[in-house]
Amino acid sequence: MRELNCKLLILGAGPGGYVCAIRAGQLGIDTVVVDRAPPGGTCLNVGCIPSKALIHAAEEFHRITALSEQPEMGISAGGARLDLAQTRRWSEGIVSRLTGGVAALLRKAKVRLVTGEARLRDGKTAVVDTPEGPVMIRAEVLVIATGSEPVELSALPFGGPVISSTGALALETLPESLAVVGGGYIGLELGTAFAKLGSRVTVVEAADCILPQYDADLTRPVTARLAELDVRVRTGVRAGGLSPEGALRIAGDDGAEEIEAEKILVTIGRRPRSEAAGIAELQLDRQGPFIRIDERCRTSMRGVYAIGDVTGEPMLAHRAMAQGEMVAELIAGERRVWDHRAIPAVCFTDPEIVTVGLSPEQAQADGTEAITGLFPFAANGRAMTAGREDGFIRVTARADTQEILGIQAVGAGVSELAAGFALALESGSLIGDLTGTIHAHPTRGEALHEACLRALGRALHI
């Protein structure tokens, strides 16, 4: 058996793992990263990137078809056709460019990439089954970055017409009808995309509302848009199995019914791969299915770190990246602490949702006296000229010091404002810092300026 020795061994080449590896290489740490898939993990290969490619293609297709029905701008169009197989090939080309780019960055940082299935023998040793045969890797430090995978319903196992998000992104023909089980961000992002492409979509959610992790003010514009797209939403109902004819069985307080659907997309959440690669045998402290970590991403076992989805919510690629960068610097001897106050979360529905920090309700629950300002895009010139006035930006700050505690937004394209929101919290900005910042006109970002002014009772444009 071939053997490798290194300072740092990383299990998983997803966003957390590859960023940790690149930063470690930059710091001169002898690093090996192991993954069975091309570098980039779920996010790059079968998650964030291909899903956003599909969402963009769906929006472009829908925009053309909508112009033929609503030519208010004086533009008419018609004859749009969809070739979903070509859309998939275009998306795969983007993924290939990005995975190739990550691999090149790993090489530049002198990181050794081993492709194969890893199995830990202990916190210092792993055996990897590679196409060339088994390889034993011995390391001084281990980073677990094995990510997560879709949760399967026992009554609706994946296979045949029942698909996961990965399966949905691999479709080459458009289903005439699609039932989405789970009204969270993954289900609504993909369900909305397929509705824009022309599928009849029904969303089934067990909770009393879609996107239950967000407050009603943020989800209301999304609900209205789903209705405009003829997406049927059923809340407060649970999905069962399939009928003999292949229909989806659901049941709620109003009784049971069957939903006819060519494909059934199950998106009820993701679970950490904390049982993979022999991780469960390491005797690590756990919090449910997740590996418990401290403020430096250290586990209960000396010399073993864990980052990303395997450590719990929020399961976000940029959270994993930030953790990976920090851990590499800690291993190099630098002083770092993980500060999770300013992690932006983005829901790429239509309209998009961005949250960072505390909502007004959360601030109140913490016992903080707060002030809030909300500015609607209906009063924003750029939103009007773009034909999308739905949504708003909302700011929450301490009443005494006016330190910003949270910023939320819902609207078309607001994902691009997320970094600015996070910067305001990370830098400890006061409302006066934002009201004193000149915002370019006409832009959607002006709504942040106006929301801050409104929190102070000084709104200019409403």
> Does 438 share its domain with 326?
no
Active site residue 441: yes
Is the separation of the CB atoms in 49 and 39 below 8 Å?
no
Does residue 460 form part of some domain? no
- DSSP at 292: P
> Does 321 share its domain with 416?
no
pLDDT at 58: 97
Percent of the chain with pLDDT over 90: 91
Query: Which of 243, 268, 293 is at the close of a domain?
Result: 268
Q: Which residues contact 166 (CB under 8 A, 6 or more apart)?
A: 46, 47, 150
Does residue 50 form part of some domain? yes
pLDDT at 78: 77
Could you tell me the pLDDT band of residue 71, with boundaries at 50, 70 and 90?
low
Distance CA 327, CA 306 (A): 9
Does residue 339 form part of some domain? no
> Does 448 share its domain with 349?
yes
CA 13 from centroid of its chain's CA atoms: 17
Percent of the chain with pLDDT over 70: 99
Q: Whole-prediction pTM value? A: 0.95
pLDDT at 97: 97
pLDDT at 287: 85
- Phi and psi at residue 342, to the nearest 5°: -115, 50
Is the separation of the CB atoms in 166 and 48 below 8 Å?
no
Could you tell me the pLDDT band of residue 283, with boundaries at 50, 70 and 90?
confident
pLDDT tens track for 202-236? 999 999 999 999 999 999 999 999 999 999 999 99
Average pLDDT of 19-32?
98
CATH of the domain at 195: 3.50.50.60
Q: Which of 171-175, 195-199, 340-344 is the least confident region?
A: 340-344
More confident residue, 283 or 236: 236
> Does 384 share its domain with 261?
no
Is the separation of the CB atoms in 44 and 17 below 8 Å?
no
pLDDT at 337: 83
Q: Is the pLDDT of residue 448 over 90?
A: yes
Average pLDDT of 84-110?
97
Average pLDDT of 243-259?
92
Average pLDDT of 357-366?
95
Is the separation of the CB atoms in 141 and 333 below 8 Å?
no
> Does 360 share its domain with 404?
yes
Q: What does the angle CA 409 – CA 414 – CA 417 come to, to the nearest 5 degrees?
A: 95
> Does 295 share its domain with 181?
no
Residue 315 CA: distances (Å) to CA of 36, 148, 160, 267, 276: 21, 8, 28, 14, 17
Q: Is the pLDDT of residue 69 over 70?
A: no
Of the candidates 364, 212, 185, the residue with the CA atom closest to the CA atom of residue 270: 185
What mean pLDDT value characterizes the chain? 95
Q: From the candidates 318, 439, 441, 449, give the one annotated as an active-site residue.
A: 441
Q: Is the pLDDT of residue 67 over 80?
A: no
Q: What does the angle CA 37 – CA 98 – CA 416 come to, to the nearest 5 degrees?
A: 120
Could you tell me the pLDDT band of residue 72, with boundaries at 50, 70 and 90?
confident
Does residue 338 form part of some domain? no
> Does 109 share its domain with 139?
yes
pLDDT at 70: 66
> Does 117 share its domain with 22?
yes
Helices (H) and strands (E) in the chain, counts: 13, 24
User: Domain range for residue 414?
Assistant: 345-455
> Does 190 share its domain with 252?
yes
CATH of the domain at 427: 3.30.390.30
> Does 141 share its domain with 287?
yes
Query: Which of 268, 283, 307 is at the close of a domain?
Result: 268
Q: Is the pLDDT of residue 16 over 90?
A: yes
- Within 173-264, where are the H helices? 185-197, 216-228
pLDDT at 77: 79
pLDDT tens track for 39-66? 999 999 999 999 999 999 999 999 988 8
Does residue 417 form part of some domain? yes
> Does 63 share its domain with 124?
yes
> Does 245 share its domain with 351?
no
pLDDT at 80: 86
Of the candidates 124, 128, 109, 117, the residue with the CA atom closest to the CA atom of residue 3: 128
Does residue 442 form part of some domain? yes
442 cis-preceded (ω within 30 degrees of 0):
yes
Does residue 462 form part of some domain? no
Distance CA 419, CA 232 (A): 33
Average pLDDT of 68-83?
79
Number of domains into which the chain is organized:
3
Does residue 234 form part of some domain? yes
Distance CA 82, CA 299 (A): 49
